Structure 1
């Protein structure tokens, strides 16, 4: 998988120009502070700062360069870059001249990039050369490697293109409903959809949600650990903070390199006050305990946020007690690529009440200004997916229930609800019960057909380091689920999973797990998997279970 990837047959429809950015070996990974926009490499000794004025001049130069290549209002520009300043320059340059950017997460394969370029009909690809990504211990690593030959007819070096270009560029006048960008969903539930967001509605909601959800003030230093290749990065690294004139951190690197206290080191160094990350990152860092945090001063933190997936109680408590030192509210945000609009809670109400009966329900709203305007090139899919089921309402595809106190509990995707002997169960609730066990780092639950019950629970569990998977642990996990939810939720199968199949954004591909649990060999498109080898291991262990062989392992 190479970032310097030119899809030659796209040129049959139109010339695909590729603008290449040469990577500086001194700064292979880094972190950027906007306002100061400060870049720090994997080595804390490597850093640079970019002011708002410098940011504007670089954006204008990039905008003028794109215009020299013939890019005009309404054209689509593909961006396939790691977390470097040029990624921000390019997306803002597109916005400045009325072009529509389509950012593809830099960890996606060349096939995934090709699919998105062709669907959006892009004629410019801005990318970086000589980078190959791979997974090691569930962490993204980048190395330099040249795999694609240079083509003088369509490849242009970034520095050559920017040389001598004016740093002043008048913005293009656009309509409020003109498209700002296309962003493709991860494909965890099917073929990726090109979500179209427009200028005014999107900008309004990202600006307001950033300001009020995170209680932003001008003396704050804000850090969202997401990748700009996803909607969280679009909204809460680039557009939201910049619209509020914020000082914020953009991190290119991994949470445990060069040491497991890397995130806490950065928080101390820049006195970060608002910290927004994913439950996956929290669970990863939990494995290393409290000691790495105790080396650093985290007293600057005032608000903690989570995003991207449901957070299990154990992770929430660790985040609140250990990271926030029981003084920072945890803002658990629920939203989508399609919505921008937030629902959030700052109290873990589900810790304080006994489990309630889960009610399967589509969670939907009347449309609002920040909602997506369509699926690019597919109006029928847009209407059938989001609006046809409940005319006049937007359907998220998530389930929820409302308790007697009026609180809404998000239970996960509707297709993640299980019907066991006529009882509806939430996979998220079962997973939360499993991960409360001190040996379990992560869990995923899917359905498996059952001759009597209709469906039964098939659970995949990933253990913490040096924990043993054995019959005693299986019985403890079953007992834990019975105690937390009830006998009806007792798992029929518990499989040891050294890793779970995830997209490169960290989402568990439950479709794949369901197919493994049902021994379906045709898994379809796996191009968005971060580590395809995980699937092979899970199938082997499934076969052993099917033949009555109990599998022990130590991680």
Structure 2
């Protein structure tokens, strides 16, 4: 992939101009760097009305051939995957490209042996262990569609995702390590499957040497299913537009959306974006601290790096265990050259002071990145000075589950640096700012709704089982545009700053939650009649969740903490701990229009403490409810 690497700012501008003037020639040239079983008949057919987007139409490939087989042939002894355990005193593991190919083939054969075939959906609910990577790639090897669910979601949330995908198989582990805690994953899976009929088999990896309950005829240990399997497995020929995976993401309605990415376009774009944003060179070691349960882990732990023949680090633990120097210790241990983490992690580590980071040299670092949410200037400067030592560029990645890969970012040490600005669009990405009427806003220092007016190879193709939802969510707001749901600002250099969500989505520590999803969970509690949640600024998480809750009976002040605990338990049961509201205020009513619409704009202002700018409330059904909410707002 080095032939496709942008080497200068001048070359970036040349490539970008070409990608806009002749997208098919540009992406066809990029795609020629990969192995195809059959070349495409046409690079692109598309419309944003249905929407119907097809890249590399008629082409046949298998993404794992490009990740493993071709790399094993030319760099078989090179380390592909480094696994660093939760406990620094435990043994780390490394796999060469040849070793990883063999492990994937063995597990792919095991999947076929239990009846998994092309097009079947496989739910993966696992710790950050090497077997997770193996399972993901093995599914792709045989054409099964993987759906990785973050192993922090509750049994109910897991069941919803399994049911929606109609998964035949769940792959999990007995438990997982997360800092000082151990979490029983198999027990969560068992609870989820009490409500699901589609699952035929469960494969369980022995991670903690526990002895979970195993259901006869359904559950099988990983070690047993791989025993005696052949070490070679022919890659399944896949159409470029065949689904590669489903990944569930929250939206503005209660039910998570199953975003579908396809084989050809996702392969081309994740490799291209990884190679250029991180300026990867042959001997480099790349580390992304995300979980594979999120899109960042898919694209920049597994697929992007391995497609480029990189050495990628997979980390089981958390940034503060056993102390706040853990990230920096791992960087020095492996000589990490490119490092990618979340602003939330940076802000949390800032709170521990500089001593933890100054104890390590970090001399190997060349590029440091952030992803998941906009980074504030204070955190950007701390990261640049103390981690990057003032010499490493900070590449601030903006993208989404739905985009598949990085869309707007700094490009290594080539593009200019500007704190809080993500940077330039990558070649092939055509962002615009729109006003409320849907007209494009020209010029510098302008703000608007961030939309994209032309498809890129890794754009989502549909939402699983509900294409109309895809159309309504992303393509119906402004005719002819993909709507990101974010607001943005563009400066005089053409660099973009992401301001934040403009729809009913809250971004907590880089994890998106629909307001309706959390409200549904709160409303499951027997005490609750109705609720409304909003996001408000948080110094570490970026945003936190503020819940306004109407109960069936007024709750005495001395019982409110107990009631809050019960409501939190409902959220944990329905979604998981990652969605617990930071603040829960009991109210007698919610600000509604006469047609019954909840005015979240007013609640957002109250949550932010900006009560002097609530606007006109006289037209509300009950204006006095606002005064009451303001009076008892939680500081």
Aligned twin of 1:300 = 364
State the match for 1:266 in structure 2: 330
Report Cα offsets for 1:483-508 as digits up to 9, x if no partner. xxxxxxxxxxxxxxxxxxxxxxx784
Normalised TM-score (structure 1): 0.70
Shift of 1:404: 4.2
Q: Residue deviations 1:22-73, cap 9 Å, x none?
A: xxxxxxxxxxx95353444413342222221111111001100110111111
Query: Are 1:124 and 2:169 matched, yes or no?
Result: yes
Equivalent in 121, 124, 136 of residue 91 of structure 1: 136
537 and 89 in structure 1: CA distance in 2 versus 1, 3 angstrom threshold: same
1:198 lines up with 2:262 in the alignment: yes
* Secondary structure at the counterpart of residue 139 of structure 2: helix
Instruction: Please name the residue that 2:418 is paired with.
Output: 348
Provide the C-alpha distance between the structure 2 equivalents of 1:537 and 1:359, rounded to a whole number of angstroms: 33
Question: Alignment partner for residue 275 of structure 1, among 318, 339, 364?
Answer: 339
Does the Cα contact within 8 Å between 1:141 and 1:254 map onto a contact in 2? no
Q: Is the 8 A contact 1:35 1:246 kept in 2?
A: yes
Equivalent residue number for residue 107 of structure 1: 152
Partner of 1:315: 379
Alignment partner for residue 96 of structure 2, among 41, 46, 51? 51
How far apart in 2 are the matches of 1:310 and 1:324? 18
Q: Any gaps of 5 or more consecutive residues in structure 1?
A: 1-32, 134-138, 418-426, 432-445, 447-457, 465-505
TM-score (ref. length: structure 2): 0.62
Shift, 1:142, TM fit: 2.6
Q: 1:459 and 1:241, CA in 2 relative to 1: closer, same or farther beyond 3 A?
A: closer
Residue 227 of structure 1: CA displacement?
0.2
In the alignment, is the contact (CA less than 8 A) between 2:107 and 2:138 conserved in 1? yes
Aligned counterpart, 1:413: 501
Which runs of at least 4 in structure 1 moved beyond 6 Å after TM superposition? Answer: 522-526, 540-543, 549-552
Equivalent residue for 2:350, pick from 286, 289, 311: 286
1:166 counterpart = 2:236? no
Aligned to 2:577: 530
Cα distance between partner residues in 2 of 1:39 and 1:459? 34
Cα distance in structure 2, aligned partners of 1:39 and 1:403: 41
Which SS does the other structure have where 2:231 is aligned? coil
Q: CA deviation at 1:248?
A: 1.6
1:346-379 residue CA offsets vs partner (Å, 9 max, x unmatched) = 522559xxxx987342432311211111000001
1:455 paired residue number: none
Which secondary structure state, in structure 2, belongs to the residue aligned with residue 37 of structure 1?
strand
Q: Distance in 1 between matches of 2:180 and 2:455?
A: 37
The separation in 2 between residues aligned to 1:324 and 1:152, in whole angstroms, is: 53
Q: In the alignment, does 2:306 pair up with 1:242?
A: yes
How many pairs were matched up? 429
Please show how residues 17-96 of structure 1 align to structure 2 within 5 Å: 34-35=79-80, 37-96=82-141
Inter-partner Cα distance in structure 1 for 2:141 and 2:459: 22
**Aligned partners of 2:185, 2:278: CA distance in 1, in Å?**
40
Q: Is the 8 A contact 2:325 2:356 kept in 1?
A: yes
Q: Residue 271 and residue 404 in structure 1: after superposition, are their counterparts in 2 closer, same or farther (change >3 A)?
A: closer
Q: Distance in 2 between matches of 1:407 and 1:539?
A: 43
Q: Which runs of 5+ in 2 are unaligned?
A: 1-77, 191-212, 411-415, 422-443, 509-514, 516-533, 553-566, 588-605, 608-625
Counterpart CA distance in 2 for 1:463 and 1:390 is: 33
Cα distance change on mapping 1:231 and 1:462 into 2, 3 Å = closer
Contact 1:363-1:400 at 8 Å conserved across structures: no
Question: Does the CA contact (< 8 Å) of 1:367 and 1:393 recur in 2?
Answer: no
State the shift of 1:196 in Å.
Answer: 0.4
CA contact (8 A) 1:362 1:414 kept: no
Deviation (angstroms), 1:410: 1.7
Indicate whether 1:150 and 2:244 are aligned. Answer: no
Distance 2:632 2:137 in 1: 56
| Alignment equivalent of 1:223, drawn from 267, 287, 290 | 287
Whole-angstrom CA distance in 2 between matches of 1:91 and 1:391: 36
- Aligned residue among 451, 459, 473 for 1:371: 459
| Residue-by-residue CA offset, 1:266-310 (whole Å, 9 max, x unaligned) | 011111110000000000100011111111111111101000001
SS in 1 for 2:402: coil
Q: Deviations over 1:430-470 (max 9, x none)?
A: x9xxxxxxxxxxxxxx9xxxxxxxxxxx9956579xxxxxx
Partners of 1:116 and 1:525 in 2: CA distance: 16
CA separation of 1:276/1:463 partners in 2, compared to 1, >3 Å: closer, same or farther?
Answer: closer
